[in-house]
Amino acid sequence: GKSLARPPRSFREMLPMTTRARAIADKVEAFVRETVIPYEKDPRAKGDGHGPDDALVYEMREKARAAGV
């Protein structure tokens, strides 16, 4: 029978990336998983109903800068 290739598991798998681009993508993905997602439970994430409040945004920007993303 004919062998079928495994379909990509994620959008990133579908795109050819340079080594540098892959390193950047991996760094951003880790930051989002480890830092951003836990903040979804923070009451400040709801803000005024139109997104997170300013204090949370500034806090996350500082964390992103510190992480190099």
Going by pLDDT thresholds of 50, 70 and 90, the confidence category of residue 13 is: low
51 vs 48: CA distance, rounded Å = 7
Q: What percent of the chain has pLDDT over 90?
A: 48
- CB environment 15-54: b (16+ within 10 A), e (fewer): eeeeeeeeeeeeeeeebeeeeeeeeeeeeeeeeeeeebbe
Q: What is the pTM of this model?
A: 0.68
Instruction: Output the six-digit token pair for 44.
Output: 């400040």
Over residues 34-51, the pLDDT tens digits come to 999 999 899 999 877 888
Over residues 46-65, the pLDDT tens digits come to 877 888 999 999 999 999 99
Going by pLDDT thresholds of 50, 70 and 90, the confidence category of residue 29 is: very high
33 vs 35: CA distance, rounded Å = 6
DSSP-based three-state secondary structure for 29? helix
